[in-house]
Amino acid sequence: MMRAALFDDEFIVIQGLQTMVCWEKFGIELIGTAQNGLEALDYFEANKPDIILTDIRMPGLDGLALIERILELESTTLCIVFSGFNDTAYLKKAIKLGVVDYLEKPVTLSKVEDVLARTIKKANEIKRIKTLETEWEINKQERLKQVLIQLMLHHEEGEKNWEQVMQSYSKKVYGFTVLALASKDFIQKEKPNLKSIPIRSGNEYFLVLLHLTALSSQHSKDLVTSNVKGQVGIGRTYTEPGDLFKSYQQARKACRYAKFLEVSALHYEDIETYNTAPQDVSSIEKAIFASMRTTDEANLKEHVMSWMKELRQTRQLELMEREIARMVYLGLEVAKEHGAQDPGDDYDFHQEIRTLNTSEAMENWLLFKMISFLNGIQQAKNKESQGAVERAEVFIENYYHKDITLQDVAARAGMSATYFSMLFKETTGTTYIKYLTNIRIEKAKKLLLNGGKVKEVSEQVGYHSYRHFTEVFKKHTGVSPGLYRVKK
C-alpha cells in the first residue's frame, strides 16, 4: 500500500479530503497532514510518503518551493498540486518541476478520485518500467560477466561478444586489470574511473577492473592497489580485451605468491624469478635417502626440515614446487627399490603441491610423503622377513630329523647366519636351536606314544646319540623317554 500526505492551509479542504475520499479503494494510506509549507517539509523529511497532495499557495513556504525541495530529497515522490483559476504561471512551473498531476479548485470528490486513479496508474507504470530497467541492468551485468570469463579463458568468441556487449555502454574502456582474490571476503573501494566486476570461477574469486580513463602505468598500478583491501594477486593492465587472459593468468600466479609470501596485494611484475636451487642441499639429500633406507624416522624428519630450510630461503614458489616434486619422486624410487608399493604411473605429485599455499604446508606435505615411503620400506622389509622365517619353518618341519645347522637354514632363507638368527628370534620369540629342539621333542613324544623304541625314536628325530637324546628329552619333559613311553 502506498503512503500519502495532504498539505493545505485551508482546514476545510484537509478535513473534507480526509473524510470524503475512500483512500483504501486506491491502495493508499493517508498518513498525515500539514497547514503550512515549513510544517509540510518537516513532516515529509520525517516520514517520506510516496505521494503528496499540496496547495500551490501556502504560508511559510509556498507549494512550488516545497515541491522543489521534496524532489531534491526523494526524486521518486509523486506530487499532486491544487491550483486556482489564476495560478496558471505557478502551475506551469510546477509541471516543469515534475508534478504528476494537478487539481483545480474548488476541489470536488470526483476530481480527487480521478486524479488518484491516474496517479496510481502512473505509479504502477513507473514501477513496471523500473522493474524492467532493473532486470535489463542485471542481464547486462550478467552478459558482461560472461564475456569477461570468455576473455579470461581465451575463448575465440570472447572479443566478438565483447564488442556486442559494449554497444550498450556509453563509456569507453581504456584498459583491463584482473585481480585474483585469496577469498571471497574482501573489501572493495569504489573509484569513479574504475568499474569493478566480481567474477567467480569454481572455487576461485576474481575482480576484473575496467579502466574508464586513460592512465599512466604507475598511476594505474597505484589506483588498482588502492581499490581493494585483502590478500590479492594483481595482473598487468592491458589495453586490448584480447589480452585479458594474460592478466588473468598473471593474477592467479601473483595470488599464489601473495599467500606463499604472506603479503597482501602483490603485483605480478613484483615477483622475482630465480631458477636455481641452493647448492648445499645435495649432502642433505643423501642423508634423507640414507635415513629412509635404514628406516630411521627421527633422522629423516631432521634432514627433511634442514633441506626445506635451505630451499625456503629462495622465496621462489615455482622453484620450491619443482624441487619438492623432485625430492618426492626420488624418495618414491628409493622406496620402490626396497620393495615398497608403487602408487602407479598416473600419480601426480605436482598437482597436489600446487594446492599448497605456504612453505609450512609444503614442508608438512613433504614430511608426510617421505615418512609414508619410509613406512612402505619398513612394511616391505617386515613382509620379506616374515616370508624368510616362514620358509625356514617349513624347511625345519621337513628336515628336522636330519643334521641341519643354523647355516643350512639361513642359506635356504637367503640370509647370513647372524642376521637370520636375529630375525628368527625376533619373529618367533625363540632361538633357532630351541625351536628345532621343541619340534624334535614333540615328534618324539608322538612316536613314543605309538610304541616306538627309544633308540629308534632318537634316530628318527635327528639324535644319533641315544644318551644325548635322553638328556634333552628329560630336560624338556621332566621324565626319561622310557618312563614317558610306559606312563603314557
DSSP string across 91-117:
HHHHHHHT-SEEEESSP-HHHHHHHHH
| pLDDT value at residue 274 | 47
Gap between the Cα atoms of 44 and 184, Å rounded? 41
Q: What's phi and psi for 460, nearest 5 deg? A: -65, -30
Phi and psi at 402, nearest 5°, equal -105, 170
Which pLDDT belongs to residue 103?
82
Digits of tens for pLDDT over the chain (488 positions)?
899 999 998 888 899 999 899 999 999 999 999 999 999 999 999 999 999 999 888 888 888 899 989 999 998 899 998 877 566 777 778 888 888 888 888 888 888 899 899 889 888 888 887 776 666 666 777 888 888 888 888 887 888 888 878 776 667 888 899 999 887 766 666 677 888 888 888 788 898 988 888 766 555 566 666 656 678 889 988 888 889 999 999 998 888 888 777 777 888 888 765 445 555 557 888 888 888 888 889 999 999 998 888 888 877 788 888 888 888 888 887 887 777 776 655 556 777 887 887 888 888 999 999 999 899 888 887 777 777 788 888 888 888 888 888 888 888 777 778 878 888 887 888 898 899 899 998 898 888 888 888 888 888 888 888 889 889 888 988 888 888 887 75
Please name the residues in contact with 201: beta carbons below 8 A apart, sequence gap of 6 or more: 149, 152
> Residue for cell digits 568468441?
157
Write out the H or E segment, with its range, that includes residue 178: strand 175-181
pLDDT value, residue 50: 93
Q: Which amino acid is at 301?
A: K
431: which 3 cell numbers? 632361538
What is the structure's pLDDT at 395? 86
Q: State the pLDDT at residue 382.
A: 76
Distance separating alpha carbons of residues 170 and 59, to the nearest angstrom: 45
For 181, phi then psi, to 5°, come to -100, 135
Alpha carbon distance 180, 357 (integer Å): 14
Q: How would you label 99-122 residue by residue, b for 16+ Cβ within 10 Å and e otherwise?
A: bbbbbebebeeeebeebbeebbee
Q: What is the C-alpha separation between 387 and 339, in angstroms, rounded?
A: 13
| CA atoms in the 13 A half-sphere facing the CB of 162 | 20
Half-sphere CA count of 150, side-chain side, radius 13 A: 17
Q: 3-state DSSP helix/strand/coil percent for the chain, to nearest 5?
A: 60, 15, 25
CA distance 249 to 246: 5
CA nearest to 421, candidates 386, 412, 430, 393: 430
Question: Model's pTM, two decimal places?
Answer: 0.43
- Residue 6 Rama label (left phi>0; alpha psi -120 to 50; beta): beta
How far is the CA of 276 from the CAs of 260, 272, 280, 305, in angstroms? 19, 13, 12, 20
- Which pLDDT value is given to residue 45? 94
Count of H-run helices and E-run strands, the chain: 19, 12
